[in-house]
Structure 1
């Protein structure tokens, strides 16, 4: 089974064409790298909800949660942790 990071990297690479994918650092901004734009955010959020069985609240769609592989991994992990505590 792939890690959360690997799954996110695969999705970003397959969905948002860019030459920078191979050199993408964990904390690098997807917006600054030209990989993600405002329309791409909708695709990303829809995929996150489906792939990781989470609900992405509108208030959560902020750069601190979605602008980078590292932030995305931490966000998914935090949503899973919330679900475990609630369940």
Structure 2
């Protein structure tokens, strides 16, 4: 597991999986479809990404394609970090 995947999984588990087994969350599970994260949770997730990885998430990037699963988050964070390089 790469460091970003580990950090994202830990954040989601600690902040959104109240009492659920973190291992039950698959990397491709939709946060919205499974009810793990709602619109307020998306804002928490964005704050985490910006603080943890020192990137800025633009309003037009607040879409499920970027934020709706662990794998999508990892890809999005990787792309934002590469933009900084």
Shared fold per TM-score greater than 0.5: yes
Matches within 5 A, 1:7-86: 7-18=7-18, 19=20, 21-84=22-85
Verify the 8 A CA contact 1:20 1:33 in the aligned structure 2.
no
Structure 1 residues 30 and 51, CA gap change in structure 2 (3 angstroms): same
Q: Tell me how large the CA RMSD over aligned residues is.
A: 1.3
- Alignment TM-score, normalising by the size of structure 2: 0.91
**Deviation (angstroms), 1:64:** 0.3
In structure 2, do the counterparts of structure 1 residues 61 and 25 end up closer, same or farther at CA, with 3 Å as the change threshold? same
Report runs of 4+ in structure 1 exceeding 3 Å deviation: none
Write the distance in 2 (CA, Å) between the matches of 1:17 and 1:79. 26
Q: Which stretch shifts more, 46-55 or 12-21?
A: 12-21
